[in-house]
RNA sequence: GUGGAUGUAGUUCAAUGGUUAGAGCACCAGAUUGUGGAUCUGGAAGUUGUGGGUUCAAGUCCCAUCAUCCACCCCA
């Protein structure tokens, strides 16, 4: 037993103090802005019933849900013929009732339906909790990671979209990251599909391929469409459209262009009107970052029905750090129809990576104004302990080294843990009713009267 | 699920098939019993992922297995 090397499952992580502090800084900033917009927090259990989770994320998704083995004498219900098979998927139907939370959207839908009579709509909620996926880990992808979701449930108003877009702007202004919010609408994509005479069943494939534009470029995307046996005419029409839009930053020109090709195209025109409303009203809000209309933005998730958006960092190319959209029938799967919502998810893990890479964490979360009182032994406690507690009452971050260790060791400790000040109390100081305070950054040391300690640190 | 790479001290990495597997960082002690980051000296630290095989001889070559990392599918 004692020889087992301590490890953690792959794709999971420990967060040591300085990482944890930085992560908390991000979470705290998010919460602060969410609360400023009067979003309310909820939390849901780490585990959900499997029938809540299964079938919501597609076949691929079902495979990535962690299942929890039933407790007790769970094998007694397994049909005899199943003993012979080695079909794990079938076995789990009998052996597992519960699974680990896979995202925050499905639990939200479940929550809204369950609590519909106590919720006041529109329901503005945020939720910051870990989710688990039985995926194979790789760079920037983990089996346990946090999602930070904000949703507005139960209104069709496009003001909800506008609120989330301004929320995004404020969050990244607070984190001091400059970003671009790309905005599109699934109805515009449907309009384009209609314009290209695509069949209904080709639409999903169309969006999944289009979504790869950032990753593989226009030529790569067009190649994929060739592989789908699209005719040359369709491909060149699409190429022309994408070329026009990617060489143009002006949203009105893009809309006018689309307007000119969307003839008898109801769905497409509806999308254009929604986008127009959003961009027109964004003009009336003070925003720090860019918002652009990107008609190639597709997003993989197919439950989106209207506005979709995605946020990219201007300084570090890392893919999207935030994304979301409107879904018209989120709760239908749980038997509640006609509840529209719009939501957004902040990729805290990626935001962390970006901030680490370009050093955006504020200095004071790494170097705090911490004070350490050096321990000279039992005889000095009656002098030091009152100082300790009165400093804490004055809201100064302070502690007393617990052991009567060598001074060098205590100083090393203060140094290693980024204490800014050390207080030294020895015979001389006590004799004069003083303490010595050393600034660990400048190296300066002063003697001050015991009564002036608080004011010394308060300046 | 598919493919590729790598496993040596707490950590980052060395070691032509051939003595007792080494070094930097970190750790502990001392130089320095009231003052940190520097320097110097010393110390502790390993079943070379695990199990087989080839060989007079294996950290090194071969096979298997496990683990980790990277990419693909998919996703955040």
CA of A249 to C1' of B8 (A): 56
> Is residue A80's pLDDT more than 90?
no
Using only C-alpha atoms, what is the Rg of chain A?
Answer: 29
pLDDT, tens digit (0-9, with 9 covering 90-100), for A337-394: 989 999 999 999 889 988 988 888 988 787 788 999 999 999 999 999 999 999 999 9
- Domain shared by A290 and A353, yes or no: yes
Q: Are A344 and A323 in contact (CB under 8 A)?
A: yes
* pLDDT of amino acid A201: 83
CA of A1 to C1' of B16 (A): 40
Q: Are A257 and A244 in contact (CB under 8 A)?
A: yes
CA dist., res. A217 & res. A207, Å (int): 15
* pLDDT of amino acid A454: 95
Residue A328 has what DSSP assignment? S
CA of A48 to C1' of B13 (A): 45
User: What H or E segment, with its residue span, contains residue A96?
Assistant: strand A96-100
DSSP H helical ranges for A262-302: 266-282
What would the two tokens of residue A110 be? 């479940």
* pLDDT of amino acid A452: 95
Neighbours of A79 (CB within 10 A): 9
CA of A132 to C1' of B24 (A): 38
* A113 against A88, higher pLDDT: A113
Q: Which residue is nearest to nucleotide B2 (CA to C1')?
A: A136
Nucleotide nearest to A406 (CA to C1'): B33
> Is residue A3's pLDDT more than 60?
no
CA of A10 to C1' of B58 (A): 31
User: For residue A231, what pLDDT band results from cuts at 50, 70 and 90?
Assistant: confident
pLDDT, tens digit (0-9, with 9 covering 90-100), for A436-456: 999 998 899 999 999 999 999
**Between β-strands A144-153 and A123-132, what pairing exists: parallel, antiparallel or unpaired?**
antiparallel
pLDDT, tens digit (0-9, with 9 covering 90-100), for A22-43: 999 999 999 999 999 999 999 9
Q: Which residue has the tokens 């007694």?
A: A76
Q: Which residue is nearest to nucleotide B47 (CA to C1')?
A: A3
Specify the pTM.
0.91
Nucleotide nearest to A349 (CA to C1'): B76
- Domain shared by A272 and A418, yes or no: no
* pLDDT of amino acid A211: 84
The answer to whether residue A35 is domain-embedded is yes
The answer to whether residue A8 is domain-embedded is no
For residue A67, give the nearest of A52, A82, A78, A77 by alpha carbon. A52
- Domain shared by A205 and A344, yes or no: yes
Nucleotide nearest to A322 (CA to C1'): B76
* pLDDT of amino acid A181: 95
What would the two tokens of residue A284 be? 């009336």
pLDDT, tens digit (0-9, with 9 covering 90-100), for A294-313: 998 988 677 889 999 999 99
* pLDDT of amino acid A328: 86
Residue A393: asked if its preceding bond is cis (omega within 30°), the reply is no
What would the two tokens of residue A177 be? 């990251």
Residue A168 has what DSSP assignment? H
Nucleotide nearest to A60 (CA to C1'): B74
Nucleotide nearest to A10 (CA to C1'): B68
Residue A137 CA: distances (Å) to CA of A46, A145, A230, A352: 20, 11, 35, 18
The answer to whether residue A151 is domain-embedded is yes
Count of domains observed in chain A: 3
* pLDDT of amino acid A309: 93
DSSP H helical ranges for A80-155: 80-84, 88-95, 105-114
CA of A77 to C1' of B66 (A): 33
CA of A144 to C1' of B51 (A): 32
> Residue A353 — φ and ψ, nearest 5°?
-60, -45
CA of A359 to C1' of B11 (A): 24
Average pLDDT over residues A137-151: 92
Give the list of residues 6+ apart from residue A18 with CB closer than 8 angstroms, or none. A366
ipTM: 0.85
Q: Residue A78: which domain range?
A: 47-100
> Residue A323 — φ and ψ, nearest 5°?
-165, 160
Q: Which residue is nearest to nucleotide B74 (CA to C1')?
A: A60
Residue A94 CA: distances (Å) to CA of A38, A63, A90, A436: 43, 16, 7, 69
- Domain shared by A322 and A246, yes or no: yes
User: What H or E segment, with its residue span, contains residue A147?
Assistant: strand A144-153
CA dist., res. A54 & res. A58, Å (int): 8
What would the two tokens of residue A254 be? 């893009």
- Domain shared by A384 and A426, yes or no: yes
- Domain shared by A109 and A93, yes or no: no
> Is residue A117's pLDDT more than 80?
yes
CA of A138 to C1' of B4 (A): 13
The answer to whether residue A362 is domain-embedded is no
Q: Which residue has the tokens 């309009």?
A: A191
What would the two tokens of residue A29 be? 């900033």
* pLDDT of amino acid A89: 74
CA of A14 to C1' of B25 (A): 22
- Domain shared by A243 and A339, yes or no: yes
* A158 against A3, higher pLDDT: A158
User: For residue A2, what pLDDT band results from cuts at 50, 70 and 90?
Assistant: very low
> Is residue A334's pLDDT more than 60?
yes
Residue-wise burial string across A406-415, b where 16 or more C-beta atoms lie within 10 A, e elsewhere: eeeebbebbe
Average pLDDT over residues A202-218: 85
Average pLDDT over residues A112-121: 95
> Is residue A265's pLDDT more than 60?
yes
> Is residue A219's pLDDT more than 90?
no
Nucleotide nearest to A140 (CA to C1'): B76
> Is residue A94's pLDDT more than 90?
no
CATH number at residue A139: 3.30.930.10
CA dist., res. A185 & res. A270, Å (int): 10
Q: Which residue is nearest to nucleotide B28 (CA to C1')?
A: A409
For residue A265, give the nearest of A184, A185, A207, A195 by alpha carbon. A195
> Is residue A82's pLDDT more than 80?
no
Nucleotide nearest to A409 (CA to C1'): B36
CA dist., res. A225 & res. A231, Å (int): 9
Dihedral (CA of A70, A71, A77, A82) sign: positive
* pLDDT of amino acid A204: 84
User: What H or E segment, with its residue span, contains residue A284?
Assistant: none
- Domain shared by A55 and A28, yes or no: no
Q: Which residue is nearest to nucleotide B32 (CA to C1')?
A: A408
CA dist., res. A381 & res. A390, Å (int): 14
Nucleotide nearest to A429 (CA to C1'): B34
CA of A51 to C1' of B41 (A): 67
The answer to whether residue A388 is domain-embedded is yes
Least confident of A79-88, A100-109, A227-236: A79-88
CA of A136 to C1' of B62 (A): 30
- Domain shared by A242 and A377, yes or no: no
Distance from first CA to last CA of chain A, Å, rounded? 54
- Domain shared by A110 and A258, yes or no: yes
Nucleotide nearest to A132 (CA to C1'): B76
User: For residue A55, what pLDDT band results from cuts at 50, 70 and 90?
Assistant: confident
Least confident of A25-29, A45-49, A80-84, A269-273: A80-84
As a whole number, the mean pLDDT across chain A is 90
* pLDDT of amino acid A4: 64
Strand B positions closer than 7 A to protein CB:
1-2, 27, 29-30, 32-37, 47, 67-76
* pLDDT of amino acid A1: 33
CA of A79 to C1' of B74 (A): 33
- Domain shared by A283 and A215, yes or no: yes
Nucleotide nearest to A146 (CA to C1'): B76
- Domain shared by A250 and A343, yes or no: yes
């Amino acid at each position: 037993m004692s020889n087992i090397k301590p490890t953690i499952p792959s794709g999971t992580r420990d967060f040591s103090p300085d990482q944890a502090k930085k992560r908390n800084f991000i979470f705290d900033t998010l919460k602060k802005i969410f609360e400023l917009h009067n979003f309310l927090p909820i939390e849901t259990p780490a585990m959900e019933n499997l029938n809540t989770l299964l079938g919501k994320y597609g076949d691929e998704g079902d495979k990535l849900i962690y299942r929890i083995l039933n407790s007790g004498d769970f094998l007694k219900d397994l049909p005899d013929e199943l003993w012979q098979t080695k079909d794990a998927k079938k076995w789990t139907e009998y052996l597992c009732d519960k699974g680990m939370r896979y995202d925050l959207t499905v639990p939200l839908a479940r929550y809204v339906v369950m609590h519909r009579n106590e919720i006041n709509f529109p329901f503005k909620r945020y939720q910051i909790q870990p989710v688990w996926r039985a995926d194979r880990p790789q760079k920037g992808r983990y089996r346990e990671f946090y999602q930070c979701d904000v949703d507005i449930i139960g209104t069709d108003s496009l003001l909800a979209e506008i609120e989330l877009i301004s929320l995004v702007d404020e969050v990244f202004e607070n984190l001091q990251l400059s970003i671009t919010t790309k905005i599109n609408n699934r109805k515009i994509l449907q309009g384009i599909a209609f314009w290209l005479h695509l069949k209904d069943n080709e639409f999903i494939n169309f969006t999944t391929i289009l979504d790869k534009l950032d990753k593989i470029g226009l030529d790569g995307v067009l190649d994929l469409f060739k592989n789908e046996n699209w005719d040359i005419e369709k491909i060149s029409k699409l190429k022309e459209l994408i070329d026009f839009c990617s060489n143009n930053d002006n949203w009105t020109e893009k809309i006018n262009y689309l307007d000119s090709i969307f003839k008898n195209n109801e769905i497409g025109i509806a999308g254009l009107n929604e986008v127009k409303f959003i961009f027109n009203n964004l003009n009336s809000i003070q925003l720090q970052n860019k918002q652009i209309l990107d008609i190639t933005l597709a997003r993989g998730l197919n439950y989106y029905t209207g506005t979709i958006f995605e946020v990219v960092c201007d300084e570090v190319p890392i893919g999207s750090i935030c994304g979301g959209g409107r879904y018209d029938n989120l709760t239908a799967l749980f038997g509640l129809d006609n509840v529209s919502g719009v939501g957004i998810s902040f990729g805290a893990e990626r935001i962390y990576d970006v901030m680490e890479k370009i050093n955006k964490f504020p200095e004071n979360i790494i170097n705090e104004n911490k004070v350490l009182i050096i321990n000279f032994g039992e005889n000095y406690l009656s002098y030091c302990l009152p100082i300790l507690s009165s400093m804490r009452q004055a809201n100064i971050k302070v502690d007393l080294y617990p052991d009567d260790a060598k001074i060098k060791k205590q100083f090393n400790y203060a140094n290693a843990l980024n204490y800014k000040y050390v207080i030294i109390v020895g015979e001389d100081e006590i004799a004069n009713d003083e303490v010595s305070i050393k600034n660990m950054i400048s190296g300066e040391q002063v003697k001050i009267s015991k009564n002036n300690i608080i004011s010394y640190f308060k300046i």
